[in-house]
C-alpha cells in the first residue's frame, strides 16, 4: 500500500506498476506481521509500524527490476536505505509542521510514535 508501492516505483523510475510489484508489497506486509506475531488483534501492520514502508518499497523496486519496467537498477540494500531516509525525513517534517501549526494536528489516537 501507501507509501511503499509508490516509493518503490519512484525509486527505480518504473514505467508502470505491475501486479507482481503489488504482490511483492503484500508479501512484505505479511512478513512483518508474521515477525511481530499474528493474533486476533494484529493481522496486518498499522500506519504506526512505519518500518514496513521501506521494506515494502525495496521489495517493489526489486520486483520492478525483475519485471523489466525499471529505468534504474539498484540493489535491494540501496532501495531499502533510500526509502528509509526519504520516509523518515517526511515523517519528521510532518511532525514539525504539525507542531508549528502549518498543518492541522492528527486526530486523537492517530499520532505517529515519537521514534
Whether 70 is in a domain gets the answer yes
Residue 114 clears pLDDT 80, i.e. is over it: no
* Residues sharing a CB contact under 8 Å with residue 47, sequence separation 6 or more, in sequence order: 110, 112
Residue 50 lies in a domain: yes
How many structural domains comprise the chain?
1
Say what the pLDDT of residue 92 is: 93
User: Tens digits of per-residue pLDDT, 19-67?
Assistant: 999 999 999 998 988 888 888 888 887 777 888 999 999 999 999 999 9
What are the φ/ψ torsions at residue 107 (nearest 5 degrees)?
-60, 150
Question: What values do phi and psi take at 17, rounded to 5?
Answer: -110, 120
pLDDT of residue 1: 78
Q: Is residue 104 part of a domain?
A: no
Condensed to tens digits (0 to 9), the pLDDT of residues 72-81 reads 999 999 999 9
Residues 79-86: what's their mean pLDDT?
Answer: 97
In a domain, 39, yes or no: yes
Residue whose C-alpha is closest to residue 80's, from 50, 55, 47, 61: 55
The range of the structural domain enclosing residue 89 comes to 4-99
Tell me what pLDDT residue 11 has. 97
Instruction: Indicate whether 73 belongs to any domain.
Output: yes
Amino acid at each position: 500500500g501507501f507509501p511503499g508501492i509508490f516509493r518503490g516505483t519512484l525509486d527505480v523510475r518504473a514505467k508502470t506498476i505491475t501486479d507482481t510489484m503489488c504482490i511483492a508489497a503484500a508479501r512484505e506486509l505479511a512478513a512483518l506481521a508474521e515477525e511481530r506475531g499474528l493474533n486476533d488483534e494484529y493481522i496486518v501492520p498499522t500506519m504506526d509500524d512505519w518500518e514496513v514502508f521501506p521494506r515494502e518499497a525495496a521489495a517493489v523496486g526489486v520486483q520492478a527490476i525483475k519485471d523489466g519496467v525499471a529505468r534504474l537498477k539498484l540493489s535491494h540494500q540501496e532501495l531499502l536505505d533510500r526509502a528509509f531516509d526519504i520516509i523518515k525525513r517526511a515523517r519528521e517534517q510532518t511532525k514539525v509542521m504539525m507542531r508549528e501549526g502549518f498543518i492541522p494536528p492528527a486526530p486523537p489516537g492517530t499520532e505517529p510514535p515519537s521514534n
